[in-house]
Structure 1
Amino acid sequence: MARALLDPGDSAARQTDKLLQIVDVLMRRVEQGTDQSGAAYAQFERAAMLEDQVRARTRELETALDLLNESNARLAAANRETEAARRNLTDAIETVQEGFGLFGPDDVLVLCNSRFGLQLRDIRDRLIPGMSFADYVEVVSASGHLRLPDGLSPQDWALQRLRRHRDRSTSFTVELTGDLWLQVSEHRTGDGGTVILQTDVTDIIRAERETHGRLMDDQARIVRATLDHISQGVCIFDAEARLVGWNDRAAELLAVSRTRFRQGASFADLVARMLASQRADAQGLGTLLTWVATPGPRPPLRFDMTRAGDVVLDTFAQEMPDRGFVVSVTDVTAERRAIAALSRANETLEARVADRTRELGAALAQAERASATRSRFVAAASHDLLQPLSAAKLFLASMEDENLNPRALDALAKTCSALESVESILDALLDISRLESGRLSVRQEAVPLGPLLDRLYQEFFPLAQDRGLSLRLRPTEAVVLSDPVWLRRILQNLIANALRYTPAGGVLVGVRSVQGGLRVEVTDTGPGIPAEEHQAIFREFHRLNARASASEGMGLGLAIVERATALLGHDVTLDSRLGHGTRFILHLGAPAPRDTSPPRAPDPRDPRDPRDPRPDLPRGLLGLLVAEDAEMRRALAHLLEGWGVDILDVPDPDEALGLTDEIALAPDFVLVDCRAGTEEAGFTLMRDLAARYGPLPARLLTAARDEPLRLRARRAGAPLLYKPVDPHQLERFIAQLAPRTP
């Protein structure tokens, strides 16, 4: 009844009023009722129950009201904390040195600090919370302080900016007027909002620009110095065929006035000037003009161009990435004449060989002459190449003490490595030539194998480590009768060959005493050698599964081993199983008694151990350098002057004697560069100097490896330094000297 009379939606006060009214009505009916069956009493009971229910309901409503008041209090406290956090966040972002803006997940600006858009003064007041991201981009794109790239409209910039906004994170740099730069970084928040940071990077950009400018200036100076010190003529043109760089050698070789070479001069104008001089090769210049006018990528172009006076210019043109191009010219007149002379000589030689072949009627004689000719040619060519190679090594050695940047040091190291590869090839060619000539003399003596193998182990251990291989050496005290230099060369080639062809595992070197005498075994874990190749691998320029190259070997090592072992009376054999490695065996014969005499002076044929410390050089030395080759003379003088030595450099012995007589001062040492066949002039000069000043420390520089020449030079007090000259050996010689007292 009470549930039907009361509306749960009424307030507690309204429900209480209703219950009181019901109780009052019921009480009046009880007092007025005459029902003798007790109905009035029942109604009274019901009224009392209703009153209890009203009280209980009232208490529940009061409890709910208390809970509601408590919740309202907590909500108010939370609102106060939220507002405090918002104020703290606002204060925090205001302390950030960059411009800060926060957009909500709906891309509406929630808050920003005073530095947000500060550099864009004309729109700064429009960047306020409540604006959409699209409106923000539109306003920024229309700012007069924003410097747009050429050809880009504000609308295009805005579209690019909105595309970047799709990424979760992006960063880019914006250029402003007044040479100002702003870096904009945009990152997504966890709820999908966006944080934008604006950082002023003007100082960084300007510093980088200044550094880049200095770098470009330094590079320009280096390029200019390089161009001015090379024998080639070089012209550099931009994509519009305008001259942007050149050297004086180009004007000299092309027979064009230096005044015509100026910045921005057109290629066509220079060609016209050359044609007008009537000294140029019209056909060659026409070829070059056609190449320059070629659309699309231009392949490198090389041809010979003849200038008036029978001057032959090797002309080379190559395109640069920006469609510019470089033209270099080299005077190869002497080389072409030499080739022509050689061609004529070859024709004469072929005729003579044909005549002699017909006379003898034996093909074997012809093969022997061809072999001898090849050996002489290799020896002569190697000797001629040693001269410029020696000069190059000396120039590079003089740069070791310079304060070079890391890039230059890396380039210097790579250049030295390349020259060492060339030198090793030339040494191998000379070894083959000398071994085939049959005129090579050897010096037999007792050679302890332990120190020799230990030195080779120290030499090859770093190489083995670089290749990820193990190199093991079994110690030995054996002594053998052999030539120490050639024995070392043989073992050096065997170990190098084993390391080169072993992809994994390692190499073991050991000495074994057997019934036939001593033998050195070099065993590797390489792929093995097929039985049909056991003889072929000892041929020149033969490499298994690889071509001959300067970096990986020319295939001469085992050829030298075979010829040298035959010369020394030794023998070399091999055992090999495919997939299980190879063992080279050097048979040395019976052991020799140990030599108890004092240690011998180092053989000049031995290379200097790279582990030797660099000696201290004395100061105040005066050296006399005699070298006919101007490049060699300049290289040696440059190196020695870098060591603090004063050098008197002259081209011939007569001028050397005249200069020393003129200054009336004896040099502290003498270096004489001897070309093939001029050694006698060097010995004569040393005798003349000794007659004037007494014996002088001296060295003869030569590419000849003849044993009689070495012995004669040592007896004359001027031991040999072989070319290409090892700067370390020369340095050791200088370190032993002291300035002469006047």
Structure 2
Amino acid sequence: MSHDYIAMTFAMSVGGQVTLPVYAILLWVTVGNGLRFGPRYLVAATAAALLALATTTFFNSFWRGYPYVVGTLMITAILVPSYIYVLLNRVHKAYNAALEANLAKSRFLAQASHDLRQPIHAISLFIACLRDARLGQEEQQMVDNIDRSLQSVSRLFQSLLDISTLDSGKISEQPEDVSIGEILNDIKQQNSEAAQWAGVKLKLVATHKFVRVDPSLLTTMIQNIVSNALKYAPGGPVLIGCRKRSGKLSIEIHDRGPGIASEHLPHLFEEFYQVRERGDKDTEGVGLGLSIVRRLSNIMGLEVSLRSEEDKGTTVIIDGLEIVSPPTQAPKIPNSKPVSMLDGLRVLLVEDDTNVLLATGILLEKWGCIVQQEEVLPEGKDVTCDLIITDFDLGAKTTGSDCINYFRSKNGRNIPAIIVTGHDENRVRDDVGDPEIPILSKPIRPAELRSTILALRLKLQRQTVKTVPSLQ
């Protein structure tokens, strides 16, 4: 700004009437600084413009000879920026109001999602208990219908929680070297039941590639795309596979659904946009899936594209995954009876919600665990356990990380632990500060909880084997 005004002042001072049009540039620079940098810079620029006009008048005889012209130019240099100043203040007030409304919406969505996840989580666990209750065929079908409806609600709240977390700006990428085949296989397993309900044959092309990516964010992206395929392309096959392009790996999800008309394609990644035609049946969801996919891809530096033809199907491509070399695999410990590994496992279960506590306890006992159930941190009690499963919010200003640290310190050993929460995983991870503690988001599928417990026990067994000295 200093260089601009010094140069223009010099030009007008020494140039006389020939350089009088420089005033237009002076006015343009003054208004431009205000629009670019805000009201305070506009005030400073206006003061600099008036100083430039006064200096020019003092040194230039031509300007001194037309005092009324100089007065008009000065009044213009005050009135135009003043009007712009008023408009900028109004724009800033409107922007701040919109920002506050957006933050309020995000807070509401996050709180509503968290509160509603508690009963959904409990219902999901009770359903898992009912499946093992030797029900008749008719009753089992009713349980399946309840589970199907529950998963629809669960996916809706997952979308709401994802979008509110993205709005908060707290999501950051945490890349690591992972097997893309394992991620895709897990997604296939998680959606096998939903695919069966939709009459979809879910196919996966196996791959042994490893990529450097945030597995949690990538899983969310693929899960949203697959869920859309199951919703909008029922009754046909859905294919998930990978291709290598220009040294990078891309993930492709193909369906054989009715396709999407060309006029809808530019809007598919907008929030709350849904393809609706006259006479279409209602479809679950609120139109957030692809918006979440696009925003997560921007965070991870990936590219997402979609192509579709009516009556032929739709393809979604996630491109730009960095291929890495497979890590060195540690030798696996043979295990002939993985199903019985939970027999006799002593579990301390801490959960402040009575229904969730009861449902989780019943499920763990069905798996063969010995469970001690507590609604609050059991300070002062003698607790001997092999695993701690705790909610994150325990009341009385106590968190799951406090609970884990308390019993680890009391027992003098690093007891394996799992934290279950309805909050954003990254926020909880920052509070826990231990990457070895799995964090599971409510509502949890029983298979996910069981596999996490098994993984922790296998890891503990490996560590135990390594510490035992070999016999010579």
TM value normalised by structure 2: 0.64
Whether 2:110 is the aligned partner of 1:379: answer yes
Task: Work out the number of aligned pairs and report it.
Answer: 364
Tell me the distance in 2 between the aligned counterparts of 1:502 and 1:387: 31
- Gap change, CA 1:521 and 1:389, over 3 Å in 2: closer
Q: CA contact under 8 A between 1:548 and 1:554: conserved in structure 2?
A: no
Tell me the distance in 1 between the aligned counterparts of 2:172 and 2:398: 21
Q: CA contact under 8 A between 2:421 and 2:440: conserved in structure 1?
A: yes
**Residue aligning to 2:10:** none
Tell me the distance in 2 between the aligned counterparts of 1:578 and 1:543: 16
Tell me the distance in 2 between the aligned counterparts of 1:733 and 1:378: 28
Offset, 1:437: 1.8
**Residue aligning to 1:692:** 410
1:581 to 304, 309, 313: 313
Note the 1:263-278 alignment, pairs <5 A. Answer: none
- Gap change, CA 1:400 and 1:497, over 3 Å in 2: closer
Q: CA contact under 8 A between 1:524 and 1:582: conserved in structure 2?
A: yes
**Residue aligning to 2:153:** 422
**Residue aligning to 1:659:** 381
**Residue aligning to 1:672:** 390
Whether 2:345 is the aligned partner of 1:626: answer no
- Gap change, CA 1:651 and 1:583, over 3 Å in 2: closer
Offset, 1:409: 1.8
2:269 to 528, 538, 541: 538
Tell me the distance in 2 between the aligned counterparts of 1:691 and 1:505: 55
Counting aligned pairs with the same residue, the percent is: 32
Offset, 1:362: 3.6
Offset, 1:627: 2.5
Whether 2:442 is the aligned partner of 1:723: answer yes
Q: CA contact under 8 A between 1:617 and 1:734: conserved in structure 2?
A: no
Q: CA contact under 8 A between 1:562 and 1:572: conserved in structure 2?
A: yes
Note the 1:424-573 alignment, pairs <5 A. Answer: 424-456=155-187, 476=207, 478-502=209-233, 506-515=237-246, 517-545=248-276, 552-573=284-305
Q: CA contact under 8 A between 1:683 and 1:716: conserved in structure 2?
A: no
Once superposed, what is the RMSD of the aligned Cα atoms?
A: 3.9
- Gap change, CA 1:467 and 1:642, over 3 Å in 2: closer
| Paired AA for residue 693 in structure 1 | N
Tell me the distance in 2 between the aligned counterparts of 1:678 and 1:595: 46
- Gap change, CA 1:396 and 1:452, over 3 Å in 2: closer
Tell me the distance in 2 between the aligned counterparts of 1:699 and 1:563: 29
Offset, 1:379: 1.0
Q: CA contact under 8 A between 2:420 and 2:440: conserved in structure 1?
A: yes
Offset, 1:382: 0.7
Tell me the distance in 2 between the aligned counterparts of 1:666 and 1:471: 44
Whether 2:362 is the aligned partner of 1:638: answer yes
Q: CA contact under 8 A between 1:421 and 1:550: conserved in structure 2?
A: no
Tell me the distance in 2 between the aligned counterparts of 1:446 and 1:369: 38
- Gap change, CA 1:541 and 1:679, over 3 Å in 2: farther
Tell me the distance in 1 between the aligned counterparts of 2:325 and 2:347: 42
**Residue aligning to 2:24:** none
Note the 1:168-317 alignment, pairs <5 A. Answer: none
Unpaired stretches in structure 1, ≥5 consecutive residues:
1-356, 602-612
| Paired AA for residue 349 in structure 2 | L
Offset, 1:440: 0.7
- Gap change, CA 1:487 and 1:648, over 3 Å in 2: closer
**Residue aligning to 2:51:** none
- Gap change, CA 1:582 and 1:678, over 3 Å in 2: farther
Tell me the distance in 2 between the aligned counterparts of 1:635 and 1:583: 40
Helix, strand or coil for the counterpart of 1:704? coil
Q: CA contact under 8 A between 1:538 and 1:559: conserved in structure 2?
A: yes
- Gap change, CA 1:692 and 1:491, over 3 Å in 2: closer
- Gap change, CA 1:670 and 1:462, over 3 Å in 2: closer
Write the deviation string for residues 609-661 of structure 1: whole angstroms up to 9, x where unpaired. Answer: xxxx98225555554333222333333333334445444333322xx12332x
Offset, 1:369: 1.9
Please tell me whether Structure 1 or Structure 2 has the larger radius of gyration of its CA atoms: 1
| Paired AA for residue 226 in structure 2 | I
1:394 to 119, 125, 128: 125
Tell me the distance in 2 between the aligned counterparts of 1:380 and 1:537: 27
Tell me the distance in 2 between the aligned counterparts of 1:629 and 1:370: 31
Helix, strand or coil for the counterpart of 1:402? coil
Helix, strand or coil for the counterpart of 2:146? helix
Offset, 1:568: 0.9
Helix, strand or coil for the counterpart of 2:316? strand
Tell me the distance in 1 between the aligned counterparts of 2:323 and 2:161: 30
Offset, 1:489: 2.6
Tell me the distance in 1 between the aligned counterparts of 2:203 and 2:287: 25
Tell me the distance in 1 between the aligned counterparts of 2:293 and 2:182: 20
Offset, 1:488: 2.8
Unpaired stretches in structure 2, ≥5 consecutive residues:
1-87, 461-472
Write the deviation string for residues 362-411 of structure 1: whole angstroms up to 9, x where unpaired. Answer: 43332222222111111111111111222222222223332322222222
Note the 1:21-32 alignment, pairs <5 A. Answer: none
- Gap change, CA 1:555 and 1:668, over 3 Å in 2: same
Offset, 1:705: 2.7
Tell me the distance in 2 between the aligned counterparts of 1:465 and 1:622: 36
